Amino acid sequence: MTQTATRPELSVPATVAIQDNDAAVVDVAALGEQLLGRWAASRRTARALAGDPAVHKIEGLSSSEHRARCLEQLHHLVKSKAVHRAFPEELGGSDDHGGNIAGFEELVVADPSLQIKAGVQWGLFGAAVLHLGSEEHHRAWLPGIMNMDIPGCFAMTETGHGSDVASIATTATFDPDADEFVLHTPFRAAWKDYIGNAAQDGRAAVVFAQLITRGVNHGVHAFYVELRDELGNFLNGIGGEDDGLKGGLNGIDNGRLHFTQVRVPRTNLLNRYGNVATDGTYTSPIDSPGRRFFTMLGTLVQGRVSLDGAAVAASKLALKTAIQYSVERRQFTTASELSEEVLLDYQLHQRRLLPRLAATYAASFAHEELLEKFDGVFSGEHDTDEDRQDLETLAAALKPLSTWLALDTLQECREACGGAGFLTENRFTSLRADLDVYTTFEGDNNVLLQLVAKRLLADYAKEFQGVDFGVLARFVVTQAAERTLHRTGLRQVLQSVVDTGSERKSAIALRDERTQHELLCGRVDSMVGELAGALRGARRLPPADAAAVFNQHQQELIQAARAHAELLQWEAFTAALANTLDAGTRQVLTWLRDLFGLCLIEENLSWYLMNGRLSAQRARTLGPYINRLLLKIRPHAVDLVNAFGYGPEHLRAAIATGAEQKRQDEARENARAMRASGHAPVDEKTVILRKAEADKRSQRA
């Protein structure tokens, strides 16, 4: 069932100008509104809050000062009513899931530590009680969680197991005589680790452990466990340590926890998806242990969704600062003796910043779609198993791309601003350090992409639905094992290649939307088909051999998943164009979308060549075409970053304040005056001329 390669022929005359409306102008306000999206009101409120100095990161604090400040800021968020949108109305929330995430992710611009600490309290700890607990649990604990009377932890990860949650080793054994669960940490690797709020502030925790009753292990369940007394001392049987300094996010007190025969009431089991009766009988509304496990873990998805959004916001901040600076900063004279070039007029600088700007737009539009999907599921409007699985896969596809993009963009912007970029006052290095861990927490990016690959294979052929080659995360395998084949979402994407491929064999330009779509789709389709072919036989092999076969294709699996995720971003960008009403804005955004698509093709050009999708001759036109696109986008770069809507209170970067422009103007004025007085200080040619004159004079003398 390997797909036949489609071969769209492309013709891009290398020297002919692009036939577009070169006079296009961006309507910055309208584009800004479009970027704010469906939850614009939430975002506006959150941005107003995030602009308040009370929640800003103060650089250079010691980690204990920073921790204390973040803790206080959490109380500030409560007072500002900024963090209760997702909770039930009867408890003072507003049952608004999309709006909650939209607002929450904007907090990253104030201080990523604050964002993540808030995420631990309300998005993980609180959400676990909300989604895994009963109404009784809600009444007992949610008010205290919401108002910060109970700062808490989400104690899932162990030192020995991060992404492989099913393998955690903490146990919760039911003791029917006492009507209690006994939580226990059997060995060092089973300590809970990297747990936010654990080192200091956590009064309670939702602890994930293997539930054992009547001698049967029913798998991972969540328990509400009190950790510390009023004075902040660990309760009996509980111990822990501080994770210490981290590469970033030092406003959060991450730490380790362990439990020695710690007893909690039976009713502290968050029992929505699994309950134990007084006699130790286990019951669950979900028969399959695998499906139960992933339903319980489903609450985690909102973490990934919000990291995706926060990463996009960080990229936007970085690009606004770097692009603003790049149109003020001048280096090296070219044509004129007096005036040096602004950085963004250099091809290299355009190549460094504009493709990342395009990718950030793509990630932003894709994130809005993810948020829609998330809201649909969590509001209950579109909450089938399939919807949940689509949401999981979409989040797993987009979060790796956006978090890696943020690090890459922050670093490129930092380097593009030279020494100034390295100063903390310009925030690139600080944001980069804080966002670093976004690539591996709430699901390691590479593990998430393998989950996506597994889903692509399962959608491709029924055969792969229940496959267990072992090398793929148990996480991935088990999830896929429980789902039914369907044709929504991802499958549609693959389908569309077949639909359009046969019709479009004639020569079309790379700028053509359908050509880009065909090339990007075709790659995903073909990679998945090839992988399916290579892995098909493995199922019948003994486990060790099957694992080896899978391992031999691990990199290709990840590449296929990545290609798929990029396609989703491209499609989201393209869909957004249809919603861009102003013609000039749509024109510029279309160039930007083309830049995004063509850069993806350029990055993977060897694949297109090896697989006969592009001829060598056509491929050679791609680079020059991209360079011409850069020139077209260049005049709109400032408008495009202004549309992100972040003000000086969000940017807080010394080089984004116009200070450079002022310095340049002053320097130029001075150089002009010096030149007018016949005394240019910085011109090499003048030096040579004057040297020659002086030599002549001295010879004459």
Whether 59 contacts 424, CB under 8 Å? yes
Minimum Å gap between C-beta 134 and its own copies is 22
With 0-12 CB in 10 A as exposed, 13-18 as middle and 19+ as buried, what is 544? exposed
- Is the Cβ of residue 175 or residue 693 nearer to its own copies in the bound state? 693
Minimum Å gap between C-beta 149 and its own copies is 29
Q: What is the dihedral of CA 424, 426, 427, 432, to 10 degrees?
A: -90
Q: Which of the residues 168 through 207 are near its own copies (CB under 8 A)?
A: 168-169, 171, 186-190, 193-194
Q: Is 544 in the site for its own copies (CB under 8 A)?
A: yes
Q: Is 419 in the site for its own copies (CB under 8 A)?
A: yes
Q: Is 328 in the site for its own copies (CB under 8 A)?
A: no
d(CA 143, CA 149): 8
SS3 category, 20: coil
* Token pair recorded at residue 302: 């909102």
Identified binder of its own copies from the candidate list 92, 239, 533, 543, rule CB under 8 A: 543
Q: Which of the residues 81 through 120 are near its own copies (CB under 8 A)?
A: none
With 0-12 CB in 10 A as exposed, 13-18 as middle and 19+ as buried, what is 317? buried
Q: Which among 220, 218, 225, 206 is positioned nearest to 281, based on CA atoms?
A: 218
Q: What are phi and psi of 151, to 5 degrees?
A: -70, 135
Taking CB under 8 A as the binding criterion, the range among 21-29, 312-320, 406-414, 507-515 that sits at the site for its own copies is 406-414
Minimum Å gap between C-beta 631 and its own copies is 9
Only one residue has tokens 């790379």, namely: 510
- For 58-88, b/e burial (b = at least 16 CB within 10 A) is eeeeebeebbbbbbebbebbbebebbbbbbe
SS3 category, 56: coil
Minimum Å gap between C-beta 12 and its own copies is 14
- Is the Cβ of residue 203 or residue 352 nearer to its own copies in the bound state? 352
Q: What is the dihedral of CA 620, 625, 630, 636, to 10 degrees?
A: -160
Query: For helices 554-578 and 347-379, what crossing angle results, to 10°?
Result: 90
E strand or H helix that includes residue 70:
helix 63-79
Q: Is 159 in the site for its own copies (CB under 8 A)?
A: yes
- Is the Cβ of residue 233 or residue 261 nearer to its own copies in the bound state? 261
Q: Is 682 in the site for its own copies (CB under 8 A)?
A: yes
Identified binder of its own copies from the candidate list 620, 634, 638, 675, rule CB under 8 A: 620
- Which neighbouring-strand residues pair with 221? 209
Taking CB under 8 A as the binding criterion, the range among 126-134, 354-362, 431-439, 581-589 that sits at the site for its own copies is 431-439
Identified binder of its own copies from the candidate list 1, 23, 231, 348, rule CB under 8 A: 348
Q: Is 635 in the site for its own copies (CB under 8 A)?
A: no
- Which neighbouring-strand residues pair with 213? 216
Q: Which of the residues 592 through 611 are near its own copies (CB under 8 A)?
A: 602, 605-606, 609-611
Q: Is 439 in the site for its own copies (CB under 8 A)?
A: yes
- Which neighbouring-strand residues pair with 225? 205
Minimum Å gap between C-beta 378 and its own copies is 27
Per-residue 3-state assignment (H helix, E strand, C coil) for 654-684: HHHCCHHHHHHHHHHHHHHHHHHCCCCCCCH
Number of residues counted as binding its own copies (CB under 8 A) = 128
- Is the Cβ of residue 92 or residue 247 nearer to its own copies in the bound state? 247
Taking CB under 8 A as the binding criterion, the range among 97-105, 116-124, 334-342, 455-463 that sits at the site for its own copies is 334-342
Taking CB under 8 A as the binding criterion, the range among 23-31, 217-225, 512-520, 577-585 that sits at the site for its own copies is 217-225
- For 241-272, b/e burial (b = at least 16 CB within 10 A) is eebeebebbbbbbbbbbbbeebbbebbbbbbb
Q: Is 351 in the site for its own copies (CB under 8 A)?
A: yes
Minimum Å gap between C-beta 423 and its own copies is 6
Identified binder of its own copies from the candidate list 88, 275, 282, 286, rule CB under 8 A: 282
Minimum Å gap between C-beta 603 and its own copies is 9
Identified binder of its own copies from the candidate list 326, 445, 526, 569, rule CB under 8 A: 445
d(CA 566, CA 572): 10
- Is the Cβ of residue 302 or residue 478 nearer to its own copies in the bound state? 478
Identified binder of its own copies from the candidate list 73, 157, 197, 402, rule CB under 8 A: 157
- Is the Cβ of residue 4 or residue 236 nearer to its own copies in the bound state? 4
Q: Is 261 in the site for its own copies (CB under 8 A)?
A: no
- Is the Cβ of residue 504 or residue 620 nearer to its own copies in the bound state? 620
Identified binder of its own copies from the candidate list 181, 208, 428, 625, rule CB under 8 A: 428
Q: Is 23 in the site for its own copies (CB under 8 A)?
A: no
* Token pair recorded at residue 208: 């994930």
Q: What is the dihedral of CA 437, 320, 413, 43, to 10 degrees?
A: 10
Question: What does R_g of the chain's alpha carbons equal in angstroms?
Answer: 28
Whether 73 contacts 14, CB under 8 Å? no
Minimum Å gap between C-beta 552 and its own copies is 6
Q: CA–CA distance from 108 to each of 50, 434, 531 (Å)?
A: 8, 10, 38
Taking CB under 8 A as the binding criterion, the range among 114-122, 243-251, 267-275, 381-389 that sits at the site for its own copies is 243-251
For the chain, the distance separating the N- and C-terminal CA atoms, rounded to the nearest angstrom, is 92
Minimum Å gap between C-beta 181 and its own copies is 14
Identified binder of its own copies from the candidate list 56, 432, 593, 650, rule CB under 8 A: 432
Q: Is 16 in the site for its own copies (CB under 8 A)?
A: no
Single-letter amino acid, residue 150: I
Q: Is 578 in the site for its own copies (CB under 8 A)?
A: no
- Is the Cβ of residue 360 or residue 446 nearer to its own copies in the bound state? 446
Minimum Å gap between C-beta 506 and its own copies is 23
Identified binder of its own copies from the candidate list 17, 29, 216, 277, rule CB under 8 A: 216
* Token pair recorded at residue 535: 């892995």
d(CA 687, CA 170): 76
